[in-house]
Structure 1
Amino acid sequence: MDITETTAGRPAEERTRDTLGRLAAERDIWVATAHPEHGPHQVPLWFLWDGRAVWMCTGATSATARNVRAEPRVRLSLPDTFDVVLLQGQAECFPDQEVPEAAARAFAHKFGWDPRGEEAPFVYIRVVPRTVRAWRGEPELRGRVILREGMWVAQAL
């Protein structure tokens, strides 16, 4: 989208529709975690949106996995600084051999890679968003919360 196209904010329904479309289509998401002793950590990961939750996968001994185990509150963001989408929620880890089959199959289908077949152990991280904020530039700062306490503020068009 051209930055000059937006001079007025989108209604919540349109923001929700656009956000759900991006979650379904995009590949990468920034994951921000923190460890009580080591502080913040942020990395990009591939992700899958299943319609309710974000699924990611990382090495079982990675800083992201260690941080989530110690402090499950996370923030996620799509990598566009004009069309901002920020998600906040609690992360849950699933060892690669214990992940729900439907999530593992969908992840493998989207990326052409199944971490369960790797020699090193991986964990799948699931985040069900409690809050989602979406905005495009200053005209949309007001009303940017489109999911509050796990409930969509408006239905998508």
Structure 2
Amino acid sequence: MPGLVPLSFDWDGTEVMVVTPVGSPCGRNLRETGRARLGIGEFRDVVMVDASAREVSTDDVPEEQWQHYIERCDWDPRTERPDYAVYFLRPERIQAWREANEIPGRTVMRDGAWLT
């Protein structure tokens, strides 16, 4: 069943990198559906991201990308057990708002393209 769970992430400007245990419900949902919904921010300053998800093994992530993730998250999942999987989430729709008056213009990306 889909759910919202806290995950560390790194954003490279194109994709969001997240890491979760291979056998976790989150990992299974990402693997089975190829879809993700991210909630980023605080309760009054929200960004919602609908994204496609692709799984890669920890060995297939370039070292430079790992270093960005480790610096941002202060954690290297390659050194821990159980085994972890890496997911790259490519935003398709992004919505952002703070107050009710911002709801009409909250969609800032649609079909993977930024709106002006």
Do they superpose with TM above 0.5? yes
Q: 1:65 aligns with which of 27, 45, 49?
A: 27
For the pair 1:140 / 2:107, whether they are aligned, the reply is no
CA distance in 2, matches of 1:138, 1:41: 25
Please identify runs of 4+ aligned residues in structure 1 that moved more than 4 A: none
Aligned twin of 1:92: 54
Letter of the 1:131 counterpart? R
CA distance in 2, matches of 1:119, 1:43: 19
Aligned twin of 1:117: 79
Deviation of 1:88 (Å): 0.3
CA displacement 1:29-79 (0-9 Å, x = unmatched): xxxxxxxxxx22221101111111111111111111111111111110114
Instruction: Structure 1: give runs of 5+ residues left out of the alignment.
Output: 1-38
Please provide the CA RMSD for this pair: 1.4
Mean Cα deviation higher: 117-126 or 139-148: 117-126
CA distance in 2, matches of 1:76, 1:112: 20
Q: Tell me the TM-score normalised to structure 2 length.
A: 0.91
Contact 2:2 2:26 in 1 (8 A): no
Deviation of 1:108 (Å): 1.1
Deviation of 1:101 (Å): 2.6
Query: SS at the partner of 2:104?
Result: coil
Letter of the 1:132 counterpart? I
CA distance in 2, matches of 1:146, 1:79: 16
CA distance in 1, matches of 2:17, 2:50: 14
Letter of the 2:21 counterpart? G
Query: SS at the partner of 2:8?
Result: strand
1:66-81 correspondence to structure 2 within 5 Å: 66-81=28-43
Instruction: Structure 2: give runs of 5+ residues left out of the alignment.
Output: none
Q: Tell me the TM-score normalised to structure 1 length.
A: 0.69
Question: Percent identity, aligned pairs only?
Answer: 34
1:141/1:59 Cα in 2 relative to 1: closer, same or farther (>3 Å)? Answer: same
Deviation of 1:94 (Å): 1.3
Aligned residues: 116
CA distance in 2, matches of 1:113, 1:71: 27
CA distance in 2, matches of 1:40, 1:64: 7
Contact 1:60 1:95 in 2 (8 A): no
For the pair 1:107 / 2:69, whether they are aligned, the reply is yes
Contact 1:130 1:150 in 2 (8 A): yes
